[in-house]
Structure 1
């Protein structure tokens, strides 16, 4: 939609970003030069830990209770007020619809009250553009988006121009981490605990499958790997601490091998279309895993690509990435109307074919 702001925007607009798509309530202040003046993230881990995963209704109620105080704190941290804002951007999907509604309605209210542009940001696009905020990566680049709800390889060709090269046919990699951690008796969220356990383990002790490795294309699969872990745990009876560490290490290596293999296929496709000398970017919460970063960095080096992984605090869900995505769209002359309807599903590449067997979150 063409920009219909009620006042002329400065060259470096100050944008309030709001993120409420899952179990983090977040607000941030970012300007057009990419300066992050505030980035507040309130986790709901303690609320959901007793259930071993995110409960949508609990998440929505927590956003409702905490979003305004989080925004107020972000404004204090940045030493600005609502009157200093040039636009407000909020995740409009995909995500848990109750939480997305909370963030969307709050952002619309601010935009209406202040007479400033409102931008409904695609959560996946926010992750995709984070490397441009942190490392000024030029288009095009190859993105591996790995999180609790998403596992995709995407050719990022420009703002709003995304071509999906591969996706998961069953579980997202972050979900596989969490469920495997639960099988091993770890708490929620399981990904960080599993990574810590893997650091003490022997990855060669247990033979686990490398899903999809060696197959053509760029799609992923992790359900079979989870089943193999369950079988190992069952065979052990009551695994000791070292057993758990060794299985965690083997699982992490299997995931790394799968991600690298599928990414290598995507690198070939991307190079054929765009030539060499571009970047391989990893984003999303699982991008915080150090072993996966190292494996992907090695792939990029062998492929003659720059490797870009945003700081860990900007890999997991946050509002700075949402604000930046809003800034990119403002520069392109775009804004959303206040009748925007939040979306539980919002694929970056809506025309991409669905992976065989996939029940893919998008």
Structure 2
């Protein structure tokens, strides 16, 4: 006969408050994880079937796989942590302190890996947009290095604190060691992409004589990248606020923010990867500084149609545009390349959109 379950008294107000926080955060985590898995399946399928550069595709698949593993383990570990915590509310709680400690350590690692992989993909997007600007690339590299140092330092402090070797709780204002570098990296990358949107509208659309209210596919993708980056930066503000106000780990606000940020960090780069894999641009745009460069339409090597577009006005710096529509048996999706410096080699937009 099974031994009777020892009765437990009514829960205190603080215990009920903790349970409310755990229920809310668990529900949000699983909802976001379901969204993440849906987007992930679509992105991976399109990456596998997309005829993009092999190196870039392999890199994206590796990054996606790492984030997939970390996100799944984080959700599983967080659920196990919540279930074990419920056992401590009984009349005779078991000694599970070591198990809870190990879970918190693993959550500490998985979350930071997601943050770093997310920043790496975001920086990679901006890096390729500025293929001809060494200063911008150095800035992006320093930002990513700052994110790596900040996340690693904060993870180390958290580990030492959990083991009792550090008296300062890293969850308060000391979390800024990690939050600020990550936020700065995303703000810089998003700002650089915003500038590219403005540059596209000022230069390319002007050469195509497109109306202001008409958007092209390339512009829509750039705008989505910019808007998603802005939203992701705004999401970090609540985490920054809870850190600056030194809210404890037991507050519902801190629990919600701290538990959904890693999931959002996984979703954001998947959106970028999805945009990359879905891109099927049909033209190659090359901005040159030659005001009399003709527009040439090259069709599969069987014939050439030419026309001429010259820059407006008498300015010697007027821009001209060459559009090459290229088709091949292997891949009917041609490249879009943008060059805004004289003599620079065009870089296919499909490689970074």
* TM-score bracket for the superposition, by shorter chain length: under 0.3
Normalized per residue, the structure richer in strand is 1
Task: Give me the TM-score of the superposition, normalised by structure 1.
Answer: 0.27
Structure with more relative contact order (C-alpha pairs < 8 Å, separation 6 or more): 1
Structure label with greater radius of gyration: 2
Normalized per residue, the structure richer in helix is 2
